[in-house]
Protein backbone atom coordinates (compact mmCIF):
# COMPACT_ATOMS: atom_id res chain seq x y z
CA UNK A 1 0.00 0.00 0.00
CA UNK A 2 1.59 3.27 -1.10
CA UNK A 3 -0.64 5.87 0.58
CA UNK A 4 -3.31 5.61 3.25
CA UNK A 5 -5.44 8.60 4.24
CA UNK A 6 -6.62 8.43 7.86
CA UNK A 7 -9.89 10.24 8.63
CA UNK A 8 -11.41 10.22 12.14
CA UNK A 9 -15.20 10.50 12.16
CA UNK A 10 -18.13 11.09 14.46
CA UNK A 11 -21.48 11.73 12.74
CA UNK A 12 -19.95 12.51 9.35
CA UNK A 13 -22.27 10.39 7.18
CA UNK A 14 -23.18 13.44 5.13
CA UNK A 15 -19.58 14.24 4.24
CA UNK A 16 -17.80 10.89 3.82
CA UNK A 17 -19.19 9.97 0.35
CA UNK A 18 -18.16 13.34 -1.09
CA UNK A 19 -14.74 13.18 0.56
CA UNK A 20 -14.12 9.71 -0.88
CA UNK A 21 -15.26 10.78 -4.34
CA UNK A 22 -12.91 13.76 -4.31
CA UNK A 23 -9.94 11.74 -3.04
CA UNK A 24 -10.24 8.91 -5.54
CA UNK A 25 -10.82 11.38 -8.36
CA UNK A 26 -7.28 12.65 -7.79
CA UNK A 27 -5.94 9.61 -9.62
CA UNK A 28 -3.12 9.01 -7.14
CA UNK A 29 -1.57 5.52 -7.45
CA UNK A 30 -2.42 2.93 -4.80
CA UNK A 31 -4.43 5.36 -2.66
CA UNK A 32 -6.51 3.94 0.20
CA UNK A 33 -8.87 5.55 2.71
CA UNK A 34 -9.18 4.57 6.38
CA UNK A 35 -12.23 5.82 8.27
CA UNK A 36 -11.75 5.69 12.04
CA UNK A 37 -15.25 5.92 13.46
CA UNK A 38 -16.13 6.48 17.12
CA UNK A 39 -19.44 4.59 17.04
CA UNK A 40 -21.34 7.36 15.23
CA UNK A 41 -25.10 7.10 15.79
CA UNK A 42 -25.74 8.41 12.27
CA UNK A 43 -24.31 5.24 10.69
CA UNK A 44 -21.05 6.74 9.38
CA UNK A 45 -19.18 3.42 9.69
CA UNK A 46 -21.81 1.41 7.80
CA UNK A 47 -21.94 4.01 5.06
CA UNK A 48 -18.14 4.05 4.76
CA UNK A 49 -18.00 0.27 4.44
CA UNK A 50 -20.63 0.51 1.71
CA UNK A 51 -18.31 2.72 -0.33
CA UNK A 52 -16.31 -0.38 -1.26
CA UNK A 53 -19.04 -1.09 -3.79
CA UNK A 54 -17.76 1.94 -5.70
CA UNK A 55 -14.08 1.65 -4.69
CA UNK A 56 -13.43 -2.09 -4.24
CA UNK A 57 -10.82 -2.82 -1.59
CA UNK A 58 -9.80 0.84 -1.20
CA UNK A 59 -11.93 1.88 1.78
CA UNK A 60 -11.09 0.52 5.24
CA UNK A 61 -13.12 1.11 8.38
CA UNK A 62 -11.88 0.93 11.95
CA UNK A 63 -14.83 0.80 14.33
CA UNK A 64 -14.22 2.10 17.85
CA UNK A 65 -16.60 1.44 20.71
CA UNK A 66 -17.09 5.00 21.91
CA UNK A 67 -16.28 8.65 21.33
CA UNK A 68 -12.99 9.16 23.17
CA UNK A 69 -11.55 12.22 21.49
CA UNK A 70 -9.52 13.14 18.44
CA UNK A 71 -6.15 12.09 19.85
CA UNK A 72 -7.07 8.48 20.71
CA UNK A 73 -8.84 8.14 17.35
CA UNK A 74 -5.71 9.21 15.48
CA UNK A 75 -3.45 6.94 17.53
CA UNK A 76 -5.74 4.00 16.73
CA UNK A 77 -5.82 5.01 13.05
CA UNK A 78 -2.04 5.35 12.81
CA UNK A 79 -1.54 1.92 14.35
CA UNK A 80 -4.00 0.47 11.85
CA UNK A 81 -2.15 2.24 9.03
CA UNK A 82 1.07 0.53 10.11
CA UNK A 83 -0.70 -2.83 10.32
CA UNK A 84 -2.07 -2.37 6.81
CA UNK A 85 1.45 -1.71 5.52
CA UNK A 86 1.11 1.89 4.29
CA UNK A 87 4.36 3.49 3.09
CA UNK A 88 2.99 7.02 3.48
CA UNK A 89 0.17 8.16 5.75
CA UNK A 90 -1.87 11.35 5.44
CA UNK A 91 -4.34 12.66 8.02
CA UNK A 92 -7.23 14.99 7.32
CA UNK A 93 -10.68 15.97 8.59
CA UNK A 94 -13.87 14.41 7.28
CA UNK A 95 -15.77 17.68 6.97
CA UNK A 96 -14.18 18.87 3.67
CA UNK A 97 -12.44 21.76 5.42
CA UNK A 98 -9.12 20.35 4.20
CA UNK A 99 -9.08 20.67 0.39
CA UNK A 100 -8.45 17.38 -1.35
CA UNK A 101 -6.66 19.15 -4.20
CA UNK A 102 -3.85 19.91 -1.71
CA UNK A 103 -3.29 16.22 -0.92
CA UNK A 104 -0.80 15.75 -3.81
CA UNK A 105 1.19 18.76 -2.54
CA UNK A 106 1.63 17.20 0.90
CA UNK A 107 2.61 13.83 -0.54
CA UNK A 108 5.07 15.44 -2.95
CA UNK A 109 6.70 17.27 -0.03
CA UNK A 110 7.55 13.90 1.57
CA UNK A 111 10.28 13.52 -1.05
CA UNK A 112 12.15 16.23 0.85
CA UNK A 113 11.05 15.66 4.45
CA UNK A 114 9.68 13.16 6.95
CA UNK A 115 6.61 15.18 7.95
CA UNK A 116 4.67 17.57 5.69
CA UNK A 117 2.39 19.98 7.57
CA UNK A 118 -0.49 21.71 5.84
CA UNK A 119 -0.25 25.33 7.01
CA UNK A 120 -2.95 27.97 7.13
CA UNK A 121 -0.65 30.64 8.48
CA UNK A 122 2.44 30.63 6.26
CA UNK A 123 2.65 32.64 3.05
CA UNK A 124 0.16 31.24 0.54
CA UNK A 125 -2.13 29.75 3.21
CA UNK A 126 -5.37 31.11 4.61
CA UNK A 127 -8.73 30.45 6.26
CA UNK A 128 -12.33 30.53 5.13
CA UNK A 129 -13.91 33.89 4.37
CA UNK A 130 -16.80 32.86 6.64
CA UNK A 131 -14.56 33.13 9.71
CA UNK A 132 -15.29 36.26 11.74
CA UNK A 133 -12.58 38.36 13.37
CA UNK A 134 -13.00 36.73 16.79
CA UNK A 135 -12.54 33.22 15.41
CA UNK A 136 -9.45 34.29 13.45
CA UNK A 137 -7.94 35.93 16.53
CA UNK A 138 -8.66 32.88 18.69
CA UNK A 139 -7.08 30.55 16.16
CA UNK A 140 -3.96 32.64 15.59
CA UNK A 141 -3.67 33.46 19.27
CA UNK A 142 -3.83 29.77 20.11
CA UNK A 143 -1.00 29.05 17.70
CA UNK A 144 1.15 31.84 19.11
CA UNK A 145 0.60 30.47 22.63
CA UNK A 146 1.45 26.89 21.64
CA UNK A 147 4.51 27.99 19.64
CA UNK A 148 5.82 29.90 22.65
CA UNK A 149 5.11 27.12 25.15
CA UNK A 150 6.58 24.32 23.03
CA UNK A 151 9.15 26.23 20.99
CA UNK A 152 7.76 24.82 17.76
CA UNK A 153 9.28 26.50 14.67
CA UNK A 154 6.15 26.11 12.55
CA UNK A 155 3.31 28.54 11.87
CA UNK A 156 0.37 26.13 12.14
CA UNK A 157 0.90 24.12 15.32
CA UNK A 158 -2.66 22.74 15.42
CA UNK A 159 -2.94 21.65 11.80
CA UNK A 160 -4.85 18.39 11.34
CA UNK A 161 -3.77 18.21 7.68
CA UNK A 162 -0.42 16.39 7.59
CA UNK A 163 1.47 13.61 5.83
CA UNK A 164 4.16 11.31 7.22
CA UNK A 165 6.59 8.74 6.05
CA UNK A 166 5.92 5.38 7.67
CA UNK A 167 9.06 5.56 9.80
CA UNK A 168 7.72 8.59 11.67
CA UNK A 169 4.72 6.66 12.98
CA UNK A 170 6.96 3.73 13.87
CA UNK A 171 9.37 5.89 15.84
CA UNK A 172 7.40 8.73 17.42
CA UNK A 173 6.03 6.69 20.32
CA UNK A 174 2.29 6.54 19.70
CA UNK A 175 1.57 4.70 22.95
CA UNK A 176 3.00 7.59 24.96
CA UNK A 177 0.65 10.20 23.53
CA UNK A 178 -2.27 11.12 25.77
CA UNK A 179 -3.81 14.36 24.44
CA UNK A 180 -7.46 13.92 23.53
CA UNK A 181 -8.42 17.15 21.72
CA UNK A 182 -6.82 19.33 19.06
CA UNK A 183 -3.69 19.80 21.18
CA UNK A 184 -2.85 16.25 20.06
CA UNK A 185 -1.58 17.83 16.84
CA UNK A 186 0.92 19.99 18.71
CA UNK A 187 2.01 17.09 20.94
CA UNK A 188 2.69 15.00 17.86
CA UNK A 189 4.72 17.76 16.22
CA UNK A 190 6.65 18.43 19.41
CA UNK A 191 7.73 14.80 19.49
CA UNK A 192 8.72 14.95 15.82
CA UNK A 193 10.99 17.93 16.43
CA UNK A 194 12.48 16.46 19.59
CA UNK A 195 13.30 13.29 17.68
CA UNK A 196 14.95 15.12 14.79
CA UNK A 197 12.50 14.39 12.01
CA UNK A 198 12.64 16.73 9.02
CA UNK A 199 9.51 18.90 8.85
CA UNK A 200 8.24 21.07 6.01
CA UNK A 201 5.16 23.31 5.95
CA UNK A 202 2.98 23.40 2.84
CA UNK A 203 0.42 26.22 2.44
CA UNK A 204 -3.27 25.48 1.99
CA UNK A 205 -6.61 27.28 2.33
CA UNK A 206 -8.85 26.03 5.15
CA UNK A 207 -12.55 25.94 4.24
CA UNK A 208 -15.63 26.06 6.44
CA UNK A 209 -17.35 22.69 6.84
CA UNK A 210 -20.25 22.21 4.42
CA UNK A 211 -22.41 19.96 6.61
CA UNK A 212 -22.60 18.60 10.15
CA UNK A 213 -21.48 20.31 13.34
CA UNK A 214 -18.09 21.30 14.71
CA UNK A 215 -16.56 19.11 17.46
CA UNK A 216 -14.83 22.07 19.15
CA UNK A 217 -15.81 22.53 22.80
CA UNK A 218 -14.77 24.45 25.91
CA UNK A 219 -13.15 21.32 27.35
CA UNK A 220 -11.01 20.95 24.23
CA UNK A 221 -9.86 24.58 24.47
CA UNK A 222 -9.11 24.20 28.18
CA UNK A 223 -7.07 21.06 27.54
CA UNK A 224 -4.99 22.91 24.95
CA UNK A 225 -4.12 25.63 27.45
CA UNK A 226 -2.84 23.49 30.31
CA UNK A 227 -1.52 20.53 28.35
CA UNK A 228 0.90 22.66 26.31
CA UNK A 229 2.90 23.27 29.49
CA UNK A 230 2.59 19.59 30.45
CA UNK A 231 3.91 18.47 27.04
CA UNK A 232 6.91 20.79 27.35
CA UNK A 233 7.69 19.60 30.88
CA UNK A 234 7.36 15.94 29.97
CA UNK A 235 9.42 16.42 26.82
CA UNK A 236 12.52 17.15 28.87
CA UNK A 237 12.69 13.49 29.80
CA UNK A 238 13.15 12.16 26.28
CA UNK A 239 15.04 13.22 23.20
CA UNK A 240 15.65 10.06 21.14
CA UNK A 241 17.47 10.45 17.86
CA UNK A 242 15.31 9.66 14.82
CA UNK A 243 16.51 7.13 12.33
CA UNK A 244 17.09 8.52 8.87
Which of 6-20, 143-157, 218-232 has the largest mean confidence? Answer: 6-20
Q: How many Cα atoms are found within 13 Å in the side-chain-facing hemisphere of 202?
A: 26
Q: What gap in Å lies between CA 29 and CA 10, rounded to an integer?
A: 28
Fold of 3-235: Spore Coat Polysaccharide Biosynthesis Protein SpsA; Chain A (3.90.550)
| Residue-level pLDDT at 18 | 97
Closest CA to 101 of 183, 19, 182: 19
Query: Which one is predicted more confidently, 189 or 144?
Result: 189
**Given a cut of 90, is residue 4 above it in pLDDT?**
yes
Query: Which one is predicted more confidently, 208 or 237?
Result: 208
Contact present, 139 and 83 (Cβ < 8 Å)? no
Mean pLDDT of the chain: 86
| Residue-level pLDDT at 138 | 60
| Residue-level pLDDT at 242 | 45
| Residue-level pLDDT at 208 | 73
For 95, list phi and psi in degrees, rounded to 5: -90, 10
| Residue-level pLDDT at 183 | 83
With 0-12 CB in 10 A as exposed, 13-18 as middle and 19+ as buried, what is 121?
buried
Which of 17-21, 118-122, 176-180, 182-186 has the largest mean confidence? Answer: 17-21
Report pTM: 0.85
Q: Could you report the per-residue pLDDT of 44-102, keeping only the tens digit for each?
A: 999 999 999 999 999 999 999 999 889 999 999 999 999 999 999 999 999 999 999 99
| Residue-level pLDDT at 180 | 82
Q: Could you report the per-residue pLDDT of 161-211, keeping only the tens digit for each?
A: 999 999 999 999 999 888 887 789 989 998 999 899 999 999 999 987 665
| Residue-level pLDDT at 153 | 87
Region 227-243: what's the mean pLDDT? Answer: 54
Closest CA to 2 of 33, 48, 36, 37: 33
| Residue-level pLDDT at 219 | 54
| Residue-level pLDDT at 199 | 97
The answer to which of 107-116, 118-127, 130-139, 189-198 has the lowest mean pLDDT is: 130-139
| Bridge partners, 200 (sequence order) | 116
Q: What gap in Å lies between CA 64 and CA 108, rounded to an integer?
A: 31
Amino acid sequence: MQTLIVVPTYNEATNIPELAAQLFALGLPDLHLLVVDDNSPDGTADLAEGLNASYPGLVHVLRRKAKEGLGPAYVAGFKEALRLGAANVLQMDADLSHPTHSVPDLLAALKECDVAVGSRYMKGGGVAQEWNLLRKLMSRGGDVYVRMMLGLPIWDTKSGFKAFQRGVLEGVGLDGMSSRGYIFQAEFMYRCYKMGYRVKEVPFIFYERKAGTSKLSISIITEALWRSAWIRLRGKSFAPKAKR
